[in-house]
């Protein structure tokens, strides 16, 4: 089974508690898509964390990252998201390179417009 289907276990320490997030390409893509489609980023980030944390740790995570009004604590949520983004390794290629001819063409166009 590929790593993308199994997920990548990412450990994040919040306060003194270690939380395990099981991140898959599908879950990460869903978070990115929802955030970029005009969704409320903090709510989308919280949903992503709640969906990927170990089931037995969900209540503890909620107690630390959600306030008494049942709203995510933006700074803490985004700090955890940043760590996960830095640690997550997708099965997808890292960099998409442009063809050399495309780069040369744009330089030639810039020069011809001068």
- Could you report the per-residue pLDDT of 55-112, keeping only the tens digit for each? 999 999 999 999 999 999 999 999 999 999 999 987 766 666 667 765 555 555 455 5
Q: Tokens 């994040």 identify what position?
A: 12
Domain 3-112: give its CATH code: 3.30.2220
- Could you report the per-residue pLDDT of 8-39, keeping only the tens digit for each? 999 999 999 999 999 999 999 999 888 887 77
Residue (of 94, 81, 72) closest to 32 by Cα position: 81
Domain assignments of the chain as residue spans, ordered by start:
3-112
- φ, ψ for residue 82, nearest 5 deg: -60, -45
Residue 42 scores a pLDDT above 90? yes
pTM (two decimals): 0.75
């Amino acid at each position: 089974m590929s790593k993308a289907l199994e997920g990548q276990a990412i450990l994040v320490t919040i306060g003194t508690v270690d939380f395990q997030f099981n991140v898959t390409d599908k879950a990460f893509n869903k978070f990115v898509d929802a955030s970029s489609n005009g969704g409320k980023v903090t709510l989308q980030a919280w949903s992503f964390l709640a969906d990927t944390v170990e089931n037995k740790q969900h209540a503890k995570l909620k107690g630390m990252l959600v306030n008494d009004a049942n709203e995510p604590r933006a700074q803490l949520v985004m700090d955890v998201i940043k760590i996960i983004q830095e640690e997550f390794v997708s099965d997808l290629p890292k960099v998409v390179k442009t063809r050399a001819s495309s780069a040369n063409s744009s330089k030639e166009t810039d020069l011809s417009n001068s």
